[in-house]
């Protein structure tokens, strides 16, 4: 079991460039999440998908789009990268969003926008 | 006010010490509580869930006080390998997980 995988591990972009971060899980989880983590701050939710075919905004969705391609895969797209999007991005999954369910995280993508 | 707040840290303790972390949450509807551990430049990993009656896992003890909206984590006999950031996490039914900013622990030889 690979758990939650993310690609790429590192990325450097110039302002205005676009890219897609990929995430996949092999635990048959219904819910998937994208977070960003900045120094001195907790993880902040960007978007989540409670189940295949649904996506919803989290705390900091501006500048991002997501696609829940199927039950396994949940991608995050930056259409026009900005320096403020320099961060570490984590994908996570859980059985459901119901209370009591724990989240499992991918290894993260370290993104720098110049 | 942030929904989940933690001791700002960092905590620097000698090996063998006992250390306690505190966490408070503002939403009384919160139902599930967790402690996650995050090593430097790694992803968060579940350390333990926190139950109303309190629970223990080896050297780690978690307590929940719903009336005060307070969660704690106690680590006894600290090891060098306990050095990490500890994240307090709460969750409400049908809502998402909310993470605290974390408390960094360094266990010194």
Residues A79-113 have pLDDT tens digits of: 999 999 999 999 999 886 555 678 899 999 999 99
Give residue ranges of B with CB < 8 Å to any A CB.
4, 31-32, 34, 42-46, 49, 87, 91-97, 99-102
Rounded CA separation B5/B27 (Å): 12
Chain A residues in contact with B92 by the CB 8 A cut-off are 99
Residue A54 DSSP symbol? -
CB of A90 less than 8 A from some CB of B: yes
pLDDT in tens, A33-84: 999 999 877 899 999 998 888 999 998 999 999 999 899 999 999 999 999 9
CB of A60 less than 8 A from some CB of B: no
- Sheet holding B70-75: strands in order across? B4-6, B19-25, B70-75, B60-65, B55-57
- Determine phi and psi for A108, rounding to 5 degrees: 95, 155
* Among candidates B46, B92, B99 on the partner chain, residue whose Cβ is nearest the Cβ of A102: B46
From residue B21, give the alpha-carbon distance in Å to each of A26, B75, B87.
Answer: 34, 9, 10
Q: Hey, what are B39's tokens?
A: 């090593």
Q: Which residue does chain B place closest to A56, by CA atoms? A: B96
């Amino acid at each position: 079991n690979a758990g939650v995988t993310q690609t790429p591990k590192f990325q450097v972009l110039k302002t205005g460039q676009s890219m897609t971060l990929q995430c996949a899980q092999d635990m048959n989880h219904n819910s998937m999440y994208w977070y960003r983590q900045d120094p001195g701050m907790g993880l902040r939710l960007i978007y989540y998908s409670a189940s295949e075919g649904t996506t919803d905004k989290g705390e900091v969705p501006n500048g991002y789009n997501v696609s829940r391609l199927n039950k396994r895969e949940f991608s995050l797209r930056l259409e026009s990268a900005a320096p403020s999007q320099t961060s570490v991005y984590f994908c996570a999954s859980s059985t459901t969003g119901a209370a009591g369910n724990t989240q499992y995280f991918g290894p993260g993508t370290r993104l720098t926008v110049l | 006010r942030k929904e989940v707040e933690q001791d700002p840290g960092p905590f620097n303790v000698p090996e063998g010490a006992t250390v306690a972390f505190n966490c408070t949450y503002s939403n009384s509807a919160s139902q599930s509580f967790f402690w996650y551990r995050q090593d430097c430049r790694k992803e968060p990993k579940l350390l333990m869930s926190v139950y109303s009656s309190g629970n223990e896992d080896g050297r780690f003890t978690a307590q929940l006080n719903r009336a005060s909206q307070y969660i704690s984590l106690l680590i006894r006999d600290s090891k060098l390998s306990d050095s990490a950031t500890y994240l307090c996490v709460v969750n409400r039914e049908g809502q998402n997980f909310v993470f605290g900013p974390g408390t960094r622990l360094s266990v010194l030889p």
